[in-house]
């Protein structure tokens, strides 16, 4: 339970920071028409979900570490 509270506190701090950033007068500094490089397929963190799920499973089954794998994580449901 303490663990969950710690995580909730961290989430709250993160959300407050984000809200604080939103309340200031800072404007988005990368305009939509300046994002052609970011839109390039090579800039995707994980472009192939089927492949990412597998390699994360390879690591998770052989390492004690788990979690924070990114969007394609979430546990393999296996021993």
Partner 1 sequence: MQRAVREVAVAATKSRLSKPEKQAHAARDSRLTRYLALLAGLMVACGQSIAAVLPEDRADILYHRYEGGGVTIDGPSVLVRKQFGGKVSLWANYYVDMVSSASIDVVTSASSDGYTEERTETSTGFDYLYDRTTMSFSYTSSEESDYSAATFGFALSQDFFGDMTTLSMNYSQGNDEVRENIYQNGSVISSDFRGDASRQRFGVGLTQVLSKNWIMSFNLESVVDEGFLRNPYRTVRFANGDDIGRAPERYPSTRNSDAAALRSMYYLPYRAALRTELRAFADSWGVSSRNIEFRYLQPYKEGMTFELKLRYYNQSQANFYSDLFPFEDAQTFLARDKELSDFNSLNLGFGASYQFPQHWLPIFEKTSAHLFYDRIRFEYGNFRDISGTNTATFGLGNEPLYRFDANVIRLFISAWF
In the complex, which residues of this chain contact partner 1 (CB under 8 A)?
3-4, 6-7, 10-11, 14-15, 18, 21-22, 27-30, 32-40, 42-45, 48-51, 53-55, 58-59, 62-71, 73-79
What is d(CA 54, CA 63) in angstroms, rounded to the nearest whole number? 14
Q: How far is the CB of 71 from partner 1 (least distance, A)?
A: 8
Residue 41 Cα distances to 8, 29, 32, 45, 46, angstroms: 34, 22, 16, 9, 10
Q: How far is the CB of 46 from partner 1 (least distance, A)?
A: 9
């Amino acid at each position: 339970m303490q663990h969950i509270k710690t995580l909730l506190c961290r989430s709250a701090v993160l959300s407050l920071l984000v809200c604080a950033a939103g309340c200031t007068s800072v404007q988005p500094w990368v305009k939509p028409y300046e994002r052609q490089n970011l839109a390039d397929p090579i800039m995707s963190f994980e472009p192939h979900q089927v492949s990412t799920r597998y390699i994360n499973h390879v690591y998770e089954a052989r390492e004690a570490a788990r979690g924070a794998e990114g969007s394609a994580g979430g546990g393999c449901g296996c021993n």
